[in-house]
Structure 1
């Protein structure tokens, strides 16, 4: 069982590192493209960069879903905590397991449906960059699978270490 927990922790760690990288790279890209477009718009009569209208729409979903993955991993997403406060011991842990199982199932259904829609949207392409319109849907699909995996990891963390280790938020990771 120890190997299982180690593998789950390793996979969750890789996913978290990947999500952080996606946030950094996409955040920088969004900032650079938007800043360049504003600068060109004010410095020239062309009205801005033609691709700068499309690129943020393609990058933004990756930025958002990476943040959702990090929030799910840390336990920082929205949750209904009052139920857990009313329960104790095994019943509280069982409620968490049931809630997380429902969440995992819902995210896997979302991943599947986003893939179905992505296949349909892939027939259309953006006017300037000629990229398929499915990119955002694939971001959602991939992100939903990653949220499912980190939710399983969070559940495993509670089963292995106890209720006090349910959340993994650190003070330096919380923005006020």
Structure 2
């Protein structure tokens, strides 16, 4: 088992070794599983004529959190859709610099999401508004955006550092990162 961990850490470097990553995976999986089970149960209850107050609201809450936490996790793994035909034509020495540019773009977009969403969260926390079905402060839902974006920015910053280090040392491009671009 230790060998599996060593191989996993060497393949993904510090991105995999980052302490909150495994917990984040477990939380996201638990939220997704809860969402699926909850929707199945409330659908069955609705078919039996027993409506559940706030059921769509709770499912939406779980869905939004799964989306934004999943966004960060997928970015860490290099799983987002990408077009690679241009980078494939470049000499290897330029690949790391393209990775740096792409990750700077991801970081900037994540920072923008954080900046744009924090105002909504602050407004919700300062007000007395609650959701109609569950009576929750809307900030519970809105916090998903800056949380996911902050995690995505963290992973992008780590990838920037790794790509700059490789480029300056003249190292071979990281194929796991190049394949995602």
Which category describes the TM-score, using the shorter chain as reference length? 0.7 to 0.9
Q: What number of residue pairs does the alignment pair up?
A: 161
Give the aligned partner of residue 174 of structure 1. none
Choose which of 90, 99, 102 in structure 2 pairs with 1:99.
102
Choose which of 124, 143, 159 in structure 2 pairs with 1:154.
159
**1:11 offset after TM fit, Å?**
7.7
More displaced, 136-145 or 126-135? 126-135
CA gap 1:10/1:102 in 2 versus in 1, 3 angstroms: closer
Give the RMSD, CA atoms, in angstroms: 2.6
Give the aligned partner of residue 149 of structure 2. 144
**1:165 offset after TM fit, Å?**
4.2
Give the aligned partner of residue 111 of structure 1. 114
Give the aligned partner of residue 44 of structure 2. 39
SS in 2 for 1:82: coil
Structure 2 residue runs without a partner (length 5+):
1-9
Separation (CA, whole Å) in 1 of partners of 2:32 and 2:172: 35
> TM-score normalised to the size of structure 2?
0.75
Contact 2:113 2:146 in 1 (8 A): yes
Separation (CA, whole Å) in 1 of partners of 2:20 and 2:56: 30
Contact 1:51 1:128 in 2 (8 A): yes
Contact 1:157 1:166 in 2 (8 A): no
1:22 corresponds to 2:27: yes
State how 1:61-140 maps to structure 2 within 5 Å. 61-122=64-125, 123=127, 124-140=129-145
CA gap 1:99/1:168 in 2 versus in 1, 3 angstroms: closer
**1:112 offset after TM fit, Å?**
1.5
Contact 2:28 2:66 in 1 (8 A): yes
> TM-score normalised to the size of structure 1?
0.77
Contact 1:12 1:149 in 2 (8 A): no
**1:10 offset after TM fit, Å?**
6.4
Choose which of 143, 148, 163 in structure 1 pairs with 2:173.
163
**1:108 offset after TM fit, Å?**
0.9
Contact 1:73 1:150 in 2 (8 A): yes
